[in-house]
Chains A and B, each alone.
Chain A
Amino acid sequence: MLEARAPEESAASESSALPEAGSAGREAPRGQGAIFEVFRQERKGQPFQHAGSVTAPDERFAEIYAREQYGRRQESVALWLIPRGAVTVVAEFPDEFEMKYRRVDGYSIKARLHEARERAGTLELAPGAAGGE
C-alpha cells in the first residue's frame, strides 16, 4: 500500500537541511562564493561518502581547494564535487500511523530468503554467492 504524501510538507525548506553560504565562518571573496559539496572515495571500489564542503569563487578554485583539503594526505583516491544548487533535498518523512511493522529490526530474513531462492532456483544469483554479482 502506498502512503499518501502531504503536499504542503513535501516541499521541505532547503534551509533546514543545508546551511547558507558563509556559515562556515570567514567568507569567500566578496560575493563570489559558491558552495560545492565534496564526496570522497577512500579506496578504489568503495562508495563515495560525503566529506564536507568547500566555498570557492568557481569550479577551478573548488577543485584545488577540495584537492588540498580532502586529498593532501593521500586519504582519497577520487573526489566528486557537486555544486550545492544541483542537490535535491528530500527531508520530510511523514509517519502518521507509526507503521512499525515496516521496520525489520529483530527480524531475521536471511534464512527465509535462502529458502525462497532455493524454491525459485536462483541461489547462485544471490549477492555474495559464488559466481553471483
Chain B
Amino acid sequence: MSERVELLLSLADDELILGWRNSEWTGIAPFLEEDVAFSSIAQNEIGHARALYELAAAELGTTADELAFDRAPEEYRSAPLVELRRLEWARTIARHWLYETADEIRLGALKDSDDDAIAGLAAKMDREETYHRIHADMWVDRLLAAPEGRERLNEAVDELWPYALGVLDAELRPALRAKVEERLGRALPEVEAVPRGVHEAELAALWEEMTTVRRSAPAGARW
C-alpha cells in the first residue's frame, strides 16, 4: 500500500468514524436545532470520507464502498480520538472542537501538497469544515463563559488531550498544542500521543453496526 493511499485512508477513516459517532446524537441531542445541526455536520463528514475513499479507490482499483465497509476493524487507520464512544455532551463538544482544530492544521498542510488531487480535495473539504469550526468555536465560547461549562470543558479536554495529539503527525502537534492552550488560557500536560493503528475497544461495536447492511447484502443494497 502506497504512502499516499495510507494517508488517504487515515483521513477517510477519521471522517467516516467521527461522522458515525456524531450521528449517534441524531434524535437525542440536547435540543432540536442542535440535533439538526449536529446531524448535518455528521453527514458532511461522511461525504468527505466518501470523496477521500474514492481517491484511494482509484489508485487501488476498487470502490469507496469496499474501502469503507469491507475491511476488518483492525485494518482501519482511524485515530482513536474518533473511535471513543462518549455519549455525553461536554465530551462530544470537546472532541468535536479538538478534532476540528487538529483537522484545520492538517488540511492547511495538505492544501500545500504537491499532489494536485489531494491539495484540491483538501481545499474543498476545508470550505465546508469552516462551518464545523464556527459551530465548535461558538460552543467553546459559550462553555468558557460560565464556571460550570468551563469546568466540564476542561475536564473533557484533559481526558481527550492525548487522543487529540494522536490525530496529527508528530511535526504538526506543536501547532495544535499552541492553539488549544491559547484558547483555554492554560498549559496542557506533556503526554504521549495515543497513536493510530491501535484501536479502541469501542470500534468493534461501531463496525458491527456500520457494516450490517453491507454484510447482509454484499452485492449492494437497493433503497
Contacts and interface: CB of A to CB of B under 8 A. Distances in A.
Given A61-B138, A64-B138, A55 B33 contact: yes
A26 B131 contact: no
A68 B35 CA distance: 10
In terms of DSSP, what is the predominant structure of the interface of chain B?
helix
B157 to A, nearest CB: 20
Contact of B32 (A24, A64, A67): A24
A67 B34 contact: no
A60 B135 CA distance: 9
A68 B30 contact: no
B32 A68 contact: no
A26 B30 contact: yes
B37 A68 contact: yes
A69 interface: yes
A27 B31 contact: yes
Given A57-B142, A61-B138, A67-B131, A29 B37 contact: no
B40 A72 contact: yes
Contacts of A67: 131
Chain A at the B interface: mostly helix, strand, loop or mixed? mixed
Given A57-B142, A61-B138, A68 B31 contact: no
A29 B33 contact: no
Interface residues of B, number: 15
A30 to B, nearest CB: 10
A29 B40 contact: no
B178 interface: no
Nearest to B28: A26
Interface string B20-36: 00000000001111101
A65 interface: yes
Nearest to A56: B33
B33 A54 contact: yes
Nearest to B29: A26
Interface residues of A, number: 18
Given A57-B142, A60-B138, A72-B40, A65 B33 contact: yes
A123 interface: no
B41 interface: yes
Contacts of B40: 68, 72
A13 to B, nearest CB: 26
A98 B91 CA distance: 63
A15 to B, nearest CB: 21
Interface string A24-45: 1111110000000000000000
Nearest to A27: B31
A29 to B, nearest CB: 7
B188 to A, nearest CB: 26
A69 B37 contact: yes
A124 B135 CA distance: 52
Contact of A25 (B32, B41, B138): B32
A26 B131 CA distance: 24
Interface of A: 24-29, 54-57, 60-61, 64-65, 67-69, 72
Ordered nearest first, which 8 A-B pairs have the shortest CB separation? A65-B33, A68-B37, A68-B40, A26-B31, A72-B40, A60-B138, A69-B36, A54-B33
